[in-house]
Amino acid sequence: FLPSFLPSLLMALAFLVIVAVVVSLLALVLAGYFLAYFQSEEDRNTAYVPKIVVVFGLWMTMMSILLLPFDVAARTEGRDLRIDSLWEAAYMIIAILIILIIPFTILYYEALDEDPQAKRKSQLVSALKTWVVFVAISAFVLGMMYGFLGYARIPVTARAPVGDRGYMFLVKSQSNFTLVERSLVRDLACGLKKIGSCASSDFTVKFRVSFPIYVIGFLAFVGWWFFALFGGIGLVALPMDMIAAFRGRPRRIDLQEYARQKISLRERCLKLIDIGKKFESEGRDLRKGRKNKRLCNKYRAAVYFLEEDWTKLKTSYKGKGGNILIAWGHLALGCVGGVLTLLWLLHIILFMLPSPPVNGFLNRILNAMDESVSFFGVVFYGLFVFYLLWCAIKGDTKFGLRFFIVSIHPMKIGDTMMSSFLVNTGLLLLVSVAVTQFSSQAFKLYARLTDADLIIGTQVEYLDFFKEFWGHNVFVIMLLCFAGLSLIYLALKPRDRTK
C-alpha cells in the first residue's frame, strides 16, 4: 500500500514544477524584452551570439535570485524536498558565464568594434590571447585557494538524546541555531565522548567542502567587493537621481531658446571633437596607461552628458516637454526607492549587525506575507532583492561618471551597445551571488532550514579565510560606510558634470 501522504506530496511536487516552469518562461521573456527595449539600432540585426549570452545571463541572474523563495516553497510545500544539487548547478553555470563565456564574448565583440573590416579569424585570435591569460589566472587562483583553503570549520553543538530521540546537531549561525545533517558531521567520535552524561557539548568540525560549494563562496567573496562599493553608492544615488530627473524634467521651450541652447551644445561638441583630434595627433593609445585610461573615461563621460543634454533639448522643443507621466514616474520611483533604501539600512542596523538581533524587522513582514499567501512573500522578497541589483548597476555608472576610474556602460533606452550589455550582465551575475548570500543572512528567519541555509549559511559562511570577512560583517559594514559617504558627497555635489 502507498503511504497516506504520497498523493499530497505528488500534488505539491507537481505544483512546484509548474511554478518553476512558468517563472522560468516569464524570466526568459522578460530578459528578451529587456534586450530588445534597450539595444541600439546599430545592433538590431547583428551580434546574435552576444545577444544570446546577454539573454541567458540575465535569465540566470533572475533565476538565481528567485532560487531562495523556491527553496522555501520546497521546504514547506514539498515536505522538505532537497534542491541542494540545483543550487550547486546554478552557481557552476554562473561561474562558467563569468569566467569563460562573457569575458571571451566581450573581447571578441570589442575586437570587431575596433576594426569592423578585420577578418573573423584575426578577431578570434586577438580575443583568445587575452582570454586565455584571464582564464589561466582565474583557474590558478581558484585551484590554489581550493587546494589550501577548501575547508569549513563549523562550530557544532551536540545535544544528548532525550528518551528515544537521537543526537541533535546544531550550528550557531549569527541570529539562530540551524539544525544540520549527520552527513556534514562525519567525525563525531571526539565530540560524543565529550558529551558523556551532559545535556550538550560544543565542538568544531573541520571537513573539505565540495568544489561547487567552494565556487559559491569564491564568487560571493569576489562579488561582495563590487556589491559593497556599487551597491552602497546606488542605495543613495538611485532614489536621489530619480527625484532629480523629475525636478530637471524637460519643459516646453520656444524656438529662440531652442536655437540658443543648440548653439551652446554645438560649441561643446566642437570642443570634444578638437580634444579627440588632439589625442589622435599626439599618438595616444587611450587603452594603455592609467593616465590615458582616465582621460578616455573622462572623455566618454563628457560625450555621455552631451548626448543626454541633446536628447533633453529635443524633447523640450520638438516633443513639447515630453510625456508628463514619465516625469511623475521618476518621482514615484524615487520615493519608492528612498523607502526601500531606508528599510534596508534599518534592517541591517536592527537585525544583521547586532548579536543577538534587536528586531526581526523585515523577516517578520516577509514571514507574515508568506504564511498568508506565498505569492505575496515572493513579491516582497523580489522587490527588495532586485532593488539591490538595480542599485549595484546604478552605483557602477555613478562611480564611473564621478571618478573616471572605470569605464562607463550606461543603459540607455534604444541606444545601448552590446559591449555595455555584456559588461552589465557580467556585473549582475557576479553581484547576484553576493546579493543572494546577503539576502540569506538578511532574511535568516525566512530561509531557516532550507538548503540555502545549509549551503550558504552553514558551509560557505565557515570557509577558511572567507569566514573572517563574513563572521565580522566586514562587507556589510563597508556597504553602510559607502552608503553614508555617498549621501554626504552627493548632497554636497548633486550634479554629474565634467569640466
CA-closest candidate to residue 433, choices 26, 71, 88: 88
Q: Any idea which of 77-86, 324-333, 481-490 has the lowest mean pLDDT?
A: 77-86
Coil, strand or helix: which one is 201? strand
Compute the average pLDDT of residues 241-261. 93
pLDDT band at 450 (very low <50, low <70, confident <90, very high): confident
Residue 118 pLDDT grade (very low, low, confident, very high; cuts 50, 70, 90): low
Amino acid letter, residue 164: D
What does the alpha-carbon distance between residue 67 and residue 404 come to, in Å, rounded to a whole number?
36
d(CA 480, CA 228): 8
Confidence category of residue 165, pLDDT binned at 50, 70, 90: very low
Residue 2 pLDDT > 50, yes or no?
no
- Predicted confidence (pLDDT) at residue 281 exceeds the cutoff of 60: yes
- How far apart (Å, rounded) are the C-alpha atoms in residues 330 and 322? 13
The DSSP call for residue 450 is S
> Hey, what's the cell of 92?
557552476
Mean pLDDT of 176-205: 48
List residues bridging with 177 in a β-sheet: 172
Q: What is the pTM of this model?
A: 0.89
DSSP H or E run through 367: helix 362-372
pLDDT of residue 13: 77
pLDDT at 115: 53
Closest CA to 142 of 101, 206, 96: 96
**Is-contact 457 441, C-beta < 8 A?**
yes
User: Is the predicted pLDDT of residue 312 greater than 50, yes or no?
Assistant: yes
- Burial class of residue 151 in the structure, from the number of CB atoms within 10 Å of its CB (0-12 exposed, 13-18 middle, 19+ buried): middle
**Res 194 pLDDT > 80:** no
Q: How confident is the model at residue 164 (pLDDT cuts 50, 70, 90)?
A: very low
Cell of 98: 563569468
The 3-state secondary structure of 474-497, one letter per residue: HHHHHHHHHHHHHHHHHHHCCCCC
Q: How far is CA 50 from CA 31, 59, 108, 179, 338, in A?
A: 13, 14, 9, 44, 34
CA dist 108 and 110 (Å) reads 6
Spatial contact of 406 and 297, defined as CB atoms under 8 Å apart: yes
- CA 312 to each of CA 269, 320, 326, 331, 496: distance values in angstroms, whole numbers, following the listed order: 15, 11, 13, 17, 15
- Per mean pLDDT, which range of 9-23, 217-231, 305-319 is the poorest? 9-23
What is the DSSP annotation of 406-449? S------TT-B-HHHHHHHHHHHHHHHHHHHHHHHHHTTTTSTT
Q: How many residues does the chain have?
A: 499
pLDDT digits (tens, 9 = 90+) for 318-332: 999 889 999 999 999
> For 174, left (φ over 0), alpha (ψ -120 to 50), or beta?
left
d(CA 172, CA 176): 6
What's the pLDDT at 101?
95
Place of cell 528567519: 445
